[in-house]
């Protein structure tokens, strides 16, 4: 048995015409609630910050700026007891 949420989502997918027909079948008091809810969703949508698009990273921008010591792969003296 489909849930109420699934039924509601299916109604949305079926298009605006079906939603309008269902809206028109509601009593006037419920139609006001539907309009209020739509306005609430629109305001909520406007408050969400727009995340700026990140620039594509350019490879090699730090080339030559980072150096490793010559003994980088040499075992550390502090860890000799564990080897």
Residues 32-75 have pLDDT tens digits of 999 999 999 888 877 767 678 888 888 988 888 988 888 888 88
The range of the structural domain enclosing residue 19 comes to 1-48
In a domain, 14, yes or no: yes
In a domain, 81, yes or no: no
Report the SS3 class of residue 59.
coil
In a domain, 71, yes or no: no
Radius of gyration of the chain from Cα atoms? 30
pLDDT band at 10 (very low <50, low <70, confident <90, very high): low
The dihedral built from the CA positions of residue 4, 8, 14 and 16, taken in this order, carries a sign that is positive
pLDDT at 13 (0 to 100): 64
Tell me if 26 sits within 8 A of 18, measured CB to CB. Answer: no
The residue that leads in pLDDT, 78 or 6, is 78
The residue that leads in pLDDT, 9 or 83, is 83
Counted domains in the chain? 1
Which residues are CB-contacts of 18 (< 8 A; sequence separation ≥ 6)?
11
Whether this prediction's pTM lies above 0.85 is answered by no
């Amino acid at each position: 048995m489909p849930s109420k949420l699934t039924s509601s989502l299916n109604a949305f997918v079926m298009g605006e015409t079906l939603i309008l027909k269902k809206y028109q079948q509601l009593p006037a008091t419920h139609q006001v609630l539907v309009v209020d809810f739509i306005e609430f969703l629109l305001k909520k949508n406007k408050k969400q910050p727009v995340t700026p698009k990140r620039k594509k990273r350019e490879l090699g921008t730090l080339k030559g700026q980072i150096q490793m010591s010559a003994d980088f792969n040499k075992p550390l003296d502090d860890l000799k007891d564990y080897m």
